[in-house]
């Protein structure tokens, strides 16, 4: 009787953890991931294997981990979103079963799933992700793979700062087994370079399915920027502006932000990757918002800089206009064939000339004091996505164009410029002979920003109890 009860309890628990309803229907398809594995395999040398591990989990607080984020390379190649996994891709068919890929995943466990969430498990990884050969992570150690028979083992840098649950088949255990099986004592640079080159060349070109998700991620991020432009006033806090972005992202189904939001007023806007977002009052200052959603893995990366009181001052406008002009000049060369390095060079030239004209610098080399970062990076599953940055622009690349000028207090220029920080960042898809600005829906011209600021936002109507 007791055993029967246990069986039923287990059955009910497992059915409960299975019964996930009303999920998004626009995730990447299993055909997409399979296609990416094929594309990867085509670039592998003969008699090789690629070994791709999940990212480690990270502690947030005692007994609490950060929300888990999969290694984008593993996600790209498999669609698997959980920790403690490893994918093996072989160039040629292996064994009598003639498999050319194996995914090792977390084992299902009713007790653990009650505490930390559902697990896909090996069976569903076959049906939902389209693999034929899937095992539990605990089977990896004794799985018969003779790495020594293979000419090349392709893998990424092996992380060392990871937890060890001593089970032998968490990520730590999987990595130890891999190193033992493959006889790796020190990382092989050739293996890592090969992995990097293959993933760079695949991920820098977006497929139509990826483009759909990126387009959506950028669009909903623009809606969030526009709503803050309407809602903002000098009494708003940085945190509240950040919260409006987050609310709108979630409203449209984005799981998270693609990076820690940068919402900085005045002097804070001069800190490139400011993240405290804790100034309680933006006041009559500029607010620099570098915030983008992550939608089904794909990150937007949009920056708008707006005056909290709805009107740019003369100095703010002069700096803003210069950044805008630099962005416009870079847009003009965004087409297939342009060396990617030229985008940064062009933006630096325009800003240097403009800063000289405004009397802020005298030597063009000093542009780097006020514009210390690059102009562009690829965008995709990573906000700073993989790709060959020494190459040329190609159709279906997606990248940012993000010039900026940051003049902190005590800079060696007239103090009327102090504490002005401006960045304008847009996300471009390179087309056959030009580009499409995916973030065009959010205004960039100072006149359009001032105009939008005169509109009311739903967030202005919201009333909460005083505490």
Residues that bind ligand GLY (CB under 6 A): 259, 290, 301, 377, 383, 402, 425
Q: Is 406 designated active site?
A: yes
Q: Is 142 designated active site?
A: no
Distance of alpha carbon 408 from the chain centroid = 28
**Six-digit token string for 297:** 């893995």
Give me the least distance between CB of 34 and Mn ion, in Å please: 31
Based on CB atoms, which residue is closest to Mn ion, 134 or 214? Answer: 214
Based on CB atoms, which residue is closest to ligand GLY, 377 or 386? Answer: 377
Give me the least distance between CB of 291 and ligand GLY, in Å please: 8
Identify the DSSP state of 268: G
Cα–Cα distance for residue pair 320/241, rounded to 1 Å? 20
Phi, psi (5° rounding) for residue 51? -120, 120
Contact segment (CB under 5 A) with Mn ion among 212-220, 329-337, 367-375, 401-409 equals: 401-409
Are the C-beta atoms of residues 135 and 123 closer than 8 Å to each other? no
Q: Is 273 designated active site?
A: yes
Are the C-beta atoms of residues 419 and 408 closer than 8 Å to each other? yes
- Choice among 58, 325, 373, 441 that is catalytic: 373
Q: Does 400 bind Mn ion (CB under 5 A)?
A: yes
- Choice among 294, 425, 426, 427 that is catalytic: 425
Give me the least distance between CB of 223 and ligand GLY, in Å please: 18
Q: Is 423 designated active site?
A: yes
Q: Does 301 bind Mn ion (CB under 5 A)?
A: yes
Q: Is 349 designated active site?
A: no
Q: Which does 426 bind (CB under 5 to 8 A by kind): Mn ion, ligand GLY, none?
A: none
- Choice among 57, 170, 242, 301 that is catalytic: 301
Q: Which does 259 bind (CB under 5 to 8 A by kind): Mn ion, ligand GLY, none?
A: ligand GLY
Are the C-beta atoms of residues 47 and 92 closer than 8 Å to each other? yes
Are the C-beta atoms of residues 433 and 335 closer than 8 Å to each other? yes
Based on CB atoms, which residue is closest to ligand GLY, 175 or 383? Answer: 383
Give me the least distance between CB of 439 and Mn ion, in Å please: 11
- Choice among 384, 436, 441, 450 that is catalytic: 384
- Choice among 84, 170, 242, 402 that is catalytic: 402
Q: Which does 204 bind (CB under 5 to 8 A by kind): ligand GLY, Mn ion, none?
A: none
Residue 192: CB partners within 8 Å, gap ≥ 6? Answer: 155, 156, 157
Residue 202: CB partners within 8 Å, gap ≥ 6? Answer: 36, 39, 40, 43, 76
Based on CB atoms, which residue is closest to Mn ion, 119 or 249? Answer: 249
Cα–Cα distance for residue pair 391/125, rounded to 1 Å? 36
Are the C-beta atoms of residues 202 and 36 closer than 8 Å to each other? yes
Give me the least distance between CB of 338 and Mn ion, in Å please: 18
Give me the least distance between CB of 374 and ligand GLY, in Å please: 9
Give me the least distance between CB of 259 and ligand GLY, in Å please: 5
Going by C-alpha positions, the residue among 249, 253, 251, 252 that lies closest to residue 261 is: 249
Are the C-beta atoms of residues 269 and 421 closer than 8 Å to each other? yes
Work out the burial of residue 13: count CB atoms within 10 Å of its CB; fewer than 13 is exposed, 13-18 middle, 19 or more buried. middle
- Choice among 63, 97, 189, 314 that is catalytic: 63
Contacts 24+ apart (CB under 8 A), 14-21: 14/108, 14/110, 17/110, 17/113, 17/114, 17/118, 17/119, 18/118, 20/118
Q: Is 290 designated active site?
A: yes
- Choice among 33, 249, 377, 444 that is catalytic: 377
Strand order in the sheet with 298-299: 256-257, 293-295, 298-299
Site string for Mn ion, 258-297 (x = CB under 5 A): --------------------------------x-------
Task: Tell how strand 48-53 and strand 86-94 pair up.
Answer: antiparallel
**Six-digit token string for 74:** 């593993």
Based on CB atoms, which residue is closest to ligand GLY, 50 or 379? Answer: 379
List contacts with Mn ion (CB under 5 A).
290, 301, 400, 402, 425
Q: What residues are labeled active site?
A: 63, 273, 290, 301, 373, 377, 384, 402, 406, 423, 425
């Amino acid at each position: 009787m007791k055993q029967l009860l246990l069986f039923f309890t287990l059955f009910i628990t497992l059915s409960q953890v299975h019964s996930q309803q009303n999920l998004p229907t626009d995730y990447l398809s299993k055909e997409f991931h399979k296609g990416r594995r094929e594309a990867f395999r085509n670039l592998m040398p003969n008699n090789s294997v690629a070994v791709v591990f999940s990212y480690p989990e990270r502690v947030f607080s005692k007994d609490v981990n950060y929300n888990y984020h999969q290694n984008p390379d593993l996600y790209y190649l498999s669609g698997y979103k959980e920790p403690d996994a490893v994918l093996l891709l072989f160039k040629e068919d292996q064994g009598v079963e003639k498999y050319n890929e194996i995914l090792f995943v977390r084992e299902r466990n009713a007790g653990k799933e009650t505490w930390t969430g559902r697990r896909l498990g090996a069976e569903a990884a076959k049906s939902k992700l389209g693999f034929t050969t899937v095992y539990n992570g605990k089977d990896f150690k004794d799985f018969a793979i003779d790495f020594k028979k293979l000419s090349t083992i392709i893998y990424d840098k092996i992380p060392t700062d990871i937890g060890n649950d001593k089970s032998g088949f968490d990520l730590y255990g999987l990595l130890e087994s891999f190193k033992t099986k493959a006889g790796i004592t020190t990382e092989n640079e050739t293996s890592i370079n090969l992995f990097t080159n293959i993933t760079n060349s695949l991920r820098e070109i977006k497929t139509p399915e990826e483009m759909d998700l990126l387009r959506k991620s950028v669009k909903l991020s623009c809606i969030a920027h526009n709503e803050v432009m309407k809602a903002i006033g000098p009494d708003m806090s940085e945190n509240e502006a950040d919260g409006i972005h987050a609310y709108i992202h979630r409203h449209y189904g984005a799981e998270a932000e693609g990076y820690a939001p940068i919402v900085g007023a005045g002097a804070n806007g001069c800190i490139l990757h400011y993240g405290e977002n804790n100034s309680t009052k933006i006041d009559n200052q500029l607010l620099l918002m570098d915030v983008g959603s992550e939608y089904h893995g794909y990150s937007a990366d949009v920056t708008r800089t707006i005056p909290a009181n709805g009107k740019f001052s003369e100095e703010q406008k002069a700096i803003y206009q210069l950044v805008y002009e630099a962005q416009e000049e870079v847009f003009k060369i965004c087409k297939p064939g342009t060396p990617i390095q030229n985008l940064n060079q062009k933006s630096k030239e325009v800003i240097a000339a403009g800063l000289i004209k405004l009397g802020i610098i005298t030597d063009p080399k000093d542009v780097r004091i006020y514009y210390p970062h690059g102009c562009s990076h690829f965008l995709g599953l990573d906000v700073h996505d993989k790709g060959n940055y020494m190459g040329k622009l190609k159709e279906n690349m997606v990248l940012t164009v993000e010039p900026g000028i940051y003049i902190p207090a005590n800079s060696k220029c007239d103090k009327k410029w102090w504490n002005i920080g401006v960045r304008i960042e847009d996300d471009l898809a390179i087309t056959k002979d030009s580009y499409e600005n995916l973030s065009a829906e959010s205004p960039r011209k100072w006149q359009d920003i001032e105009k939008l600021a005169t509109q009311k936002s739903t967030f202005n109507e919201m009333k909460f109890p005083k505490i």
